[in-house]
Amino acid sequence: MCLQTLQGELEAMKMKDSVNVSSYITRVQTVVNKLKCNGETLTDARVVEKIIWSLTDDFENFICAIKESVNLGEMTVDDLASSLKAYEQRKKKKK
């Protein structure tokens, strides 16, 4: 039962406009770690895909660029997190 609840929680996760990318990725990673502790096998590729598809519309240009330039199947969550944080910081500087 706990595994199904965690799977549902992960699937339902969406980043909110009021949350920064670091907080959101930490939230996703927390659920992923709980799933792994309960025997679920999740690849980095699956977690990267989940994060990308659940970001806010503010990241649409970034997502398009990263899909064109990087093989998402080979990208780690840490690589994605670093890129997203840098993109978020650049956007804040422009405002």
Burial 56-74 (b: 16+ CB within 10 A, else e): eeebeebbeebeeeeeeee
pLDDT score, position 30: 96
Tell me if 75 sits within 8 A of 48, measured CB to CB: yes
Flag whether pLDDT at 95 surpasses 80: no
The residue length of the chain stands at 95
Rounded to two decimals, the pTM is 0.89
Going 38 to 45 to 56 to 87, the CA torsion angle's sign is positive
pLDDT digits (tens, 9 = 90+) for 24-80: 999 999 999 999 999 999 999 999 999 999 999 999 999 999 888 888 889 999 999
pLDDT score, position 1: 52
Domain boundaries along the sequence of the chain: 2-94
Helix (H) / strand (E) element for 26: namely: helix 21-37
